[in-house]
């Protein structure tokens, strides 16, 4: 496996992805040109096509990787017994995961409409699956008499929106630590479904 002079395939690929993620998050997919991405990486525009089939693939791969990471991390959650502990753990997990990668979260949500139909379907399906995980917890809590909600589906959507909303205002250099934020939001999530803590 001889390496040619000037070859950087192991490093350039990830740098392109990082630059694209940052630029897409800041200006939006449609507003960012391949030349901007190339400039950020320090290569010419043509070189990008050695690492991605086209601009759309670049976006899709970023969103797909984000969702893959989300599920991978979710599987690491230690199992707990009662629904209240489950919801508490999920809330804390969701906040920790999302707060740590604001750009990816932003792109995953904001750029859905810029995905071509079949790519959109794939990402939507993954998002649906993730929400179903939370809905399961809510439903089990209701069945066990631990939660009081008028509608499990609506409660699930309300919880997801509330928890993900942290990303709109949280700053690492703000007045609160990630831990404090997670504590407070987990409590509000529990309250929202009428759980006693």
Partner DNA sequence: GTCTATAATATGATAGAC
Partner DNA sequence: GTCTATCATATTATAGAC
Place of tokens 């899709």: 60
Nearest to 55 by CA among 16, 26, 101: 16
CB of 102 to a copy of itself, least distance (A): 13
Identify the residue among 1, 3, 76, 169 touching a copy of itself (CB under 8 A). Answer: 169
The entry of a copy of itself, DNA, none that residue 158 binds, CB within 5 to 8 Å by partner kind: a copy of itself
Interaction between residue 148 and DNA (CB under 7 A): no
Output 50 or 110, the one with its CB closest to DNA.
Answer: 50
CB of 54 to DNA, least distance (A): 3
Interaction between residue 116 and DNA (CB under 7 A): no
Torsion angle of alpha carbons 18, 20, 24, 25, nearest 10°?
10
Output 1 or 161, the one with its CB closest to DNA.
Answer: 1
CB of 45 to DNA, least distance (A): 5
Interaction between residue 30 and a copy of itself (CB under 8 A): yes
Q: Find the binding residues for a copy of itself in span 114-143 (CB under 8 A).
A: 114
Interaction between residue 50 and DNA (CB under 7 A): yes
Q: Find the binding residues for DNA in span 16-45 (CB under 7 A).
A: 32-36, 38, 42-45
Residues in contact with 92: Cβ distance below 8 Å, sequence separation at least 6, in sequence order: 182, 186
């Amino acid at each position: 496996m001889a390496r040619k002079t000037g070859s950087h395939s192991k490093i350039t690929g990830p740098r392109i992805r990082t630059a694209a993620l940052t630029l897409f998050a800041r200006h939006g997919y449609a507003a960012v040109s391949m030349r901007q991405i190339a400039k950020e990486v320090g290569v010419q525009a043509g070189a990008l096509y050695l690492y991605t089939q086209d601009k759309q693939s670049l976006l899709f791969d970023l969103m797909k990787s984000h969702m893959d990471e989300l599920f991978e991390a979710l599987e690491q959650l230690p199992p707990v017994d009662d629904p209240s502990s489950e919801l508490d753990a999920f809330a804390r997990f969701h906040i920790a995961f999302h707060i740590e990668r604001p750009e990816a979260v932003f792109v995953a949500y904001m750029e859905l409409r810029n995905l071509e139909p079949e790519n959109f379907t794939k990402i939507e399906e993954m998002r649906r699956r993730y929400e179903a995980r939370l809905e399961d917890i809510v439903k089990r809590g209701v069945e066990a008499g631990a939660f009081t909600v008028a509608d499990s589906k609506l409660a699930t959507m309300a919880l997801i929106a509330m928890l993900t909303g942290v990303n709109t205002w949280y700053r690492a250099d703000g007045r609160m630590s990630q831990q404090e934020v997670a504590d407070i939001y987990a409590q509000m999530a529990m309250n929202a479904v009428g759980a006693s803590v």
